[in-house]
Amino acid sequence: MVHVHHKDMRFDRERFLAAYSAALDALWPPHASFEVAGPFGVTRGLRLGPATGEPVVLLHGWGSNAVAWYPTARLLGDSRPVYAIDTLGDAGRSVQHAPISGPDDSAAWLDGVLDGLGLDRAHLVGESYGGWLALNVAARWPGRVASLTVLDPIGLVPLRKRFYVWIVACGSAALAPRPVRHRAATWLTAGALREDGLRRVSLAAVGFKQGIRPPAVLDDASLRRITVPVTVLLGARSAAFDAVRAADRAALLPHGRVEIVPGAGHALRLDRPDVVDRILTG
């Protein structure tokens, strides 16, 4: 058993930023940083790729940050502008000044970031909570969105109670030695546990006080209002929800394409990168 001392549970922002920068240096291709100030705080992120082309905006899952998108940034950055956002209220370089209360505020925040970046229309790619952010803004301001690709997004069906047990188990496994972590990645269907390059960032984020909460399920009317093309990829072994039930709800999307990915869990992009890469480059 791995014991975590109480002092290790206090969030140290300077230590976190040092780990974040080290991971960027080790994993990311050449890039620039950006920041957009708004009513909820200062949103920061990473940009790479050419100056022209249809932009792609990457929205990470809960408890993560823009650094985790490095494989996707490498994949897409040669041919189009790519923006990876540190979601406000999560453990990244963004700084929250005001609470984001509910779906309307979340959509207003993301719309404001797109506006601040000068992106009239963008392709949104989101995983888990980032998938909900993408669906939520598209339901309210579809004119800002060219298309969506959402990876095991929350918000289609209620989360399983055992999802929270899975999160705790993954957190405990992350503290274990490398061989144990990698075995646990298979047991838990949690590809993130194999991400040795991001481990220091994850450990440095321990103790961060989240400024976001699990969102409510999107209602039928909201899903039907999303009129842009949407690709929904669901992990067949997702700990978050039943993939078949989620696929049934996603069928309400007017221009939705739904695929349940065998062998994938909630960390779908890491469990089955071959499938995700095929979709993103297709």
Residue 6, pLDDT score: 38
Domain spans, the chain: 6-281
pTM assigned to the model:
0.93
Q: Considering only CA atoms, which of 235, 74, 81, 212 is closest in space to residue 146?
A: 81
Contact at 8 Å (CB) between 264 and 272?
Answer: yes
Q: Supply the pLDDT for residue 191.
A: 85
pLDDT at res. 172:
87
- The pLDDT, as a whole number, for residue 9 is 63
β-pair partners for 41: 38, 96
Overall CATH class of domain 6-281:
alpha beta
The pLDDT value recorded for residue 4 is: 35
Which DSSP category does 148 fall into?
E
Given this model, what pLDDT does residue 76 score? 95
Average pLDDT per consecutive 10 residues, the chain (282 residues; last block may be shorter):
43 93 95 97 97 94 94 93 97 95 94 96 97 97 92 96 89 88 89 88 88 89 96 97 98 97 94 95 86
Q: What is the dihedral of CA 129, 237, 76, 95, to 10 degrees?
A: 20
Predicted pLDDT at 84: 98
